[in-house]
Amino acid sequence: MVKILLSFLVLFIGSILSAESLKIAAGAGYKKPLIDVLKVYEQTHPKIDAMFGNMAQIFAHAKQGEVSLLIGDKKFLEKQKEVVFSSYQTIGYGKAVIAYAKGVKFSKVEDLQAPSMTKIALPDTTKAIYGIAGMEFLKNSQLYDVIKDKLLIVATVPQVITYVITHEVDAGIVNLTAALDAKDKIGGYLEIPAALYTPIEIVAGRLDTCSKNKECTDFVAFLNSNSAKEIFHRYGL
């Protein structure tokens, strides 16, 4: 009887020691809202390990089976052939905006063609979500040919917002989340009409390991709660 109890105890302790906390990943642009969501979730649930970075880094970890849930733009996740998602849950929709520097007068999208607008930054128009959306907007609004010589193409949204803050450019196209985060450091922002670019659906993409992990399914369910939705909404999603 003692041997049976000892064997059971060894197995029980081993299972505890081998258990790992749930690991999730998201693009760096969603770090702040997700951190706030995790703070609320972890008040009543186990701690979750979250990693943030550019999507190339994130997918490198996903391919190694190190994460169970990825948060990002659905179109981008779907294009990745090396990582298979079992399902997606919508978190919200990204909004493209024109952020402008302090001292700049800006009230409508057509103001981009004003002579006072000498430099306008845009994230990578082939890889960055909001760079692609920004180029769609410029072409659909018939503004591209007018302002193309003013455009400064950089790699990421954080670079664009930094250039706006330092007034190295007069304005830049970013997402609403970035503009809200920098609202005290920029002159302001103007939302781009949603009809002028393809909808940006932000989702939680579940890998196969998620469906086998109760912590993961619990967290996915929480993402659909009013508490989580309120936080994402506050950050412009």
Domains and CATH numbers, the chain: 2-93+201-234 (3.40.190.10), 96-191 (3.40.190.10)
Task: Supply the pTM of this predicted model.
Answer: 0.80
Question: HEC string of the chain?
Answer: CHHHHHHHHHHHHHHHHHCCCCEEEEEHHHHHHHHHHHHHHCCCCCCCEEEEECHHHHHHHHHCCCCCEEEEEHHHHHHCCCCCCCEEEEEEEECEEEEECCCCCCCCHHHHHCCCCCCEEECCCCCCHHHHHHHHHHHHCCCHHHHHHHEEECCCHHHHHHHHHCCCCCEEEEEHHHHHHCCCCCCEEEECCHHHCCCEEEEEEECHHHHCCHHHHHHHHHHCCHHHHHHHHHCCC
pLDDT digits 0-9 by tens, 37-94: 999 999 999 999 999 877 777 888 788 888 999 998 998 899 888 888 999 999 999 9
How do the pLDDT tens digits run along the chain, 237 residues long?
544 444 443 334 333 333 468 999 998 778 889 999 999 999 999 999 999 877 777 888 788 888 999 998 998 899 888 888 999 999 999 999 999 999 999 999 999 999 999 999 999 998 888 999 999 999 999 999 999 999 999 988 989 999 999 999 999 999 999 999 999 999 999 999 999 999 999 999 999 989 889 999 999 999 999 999 999 999 998
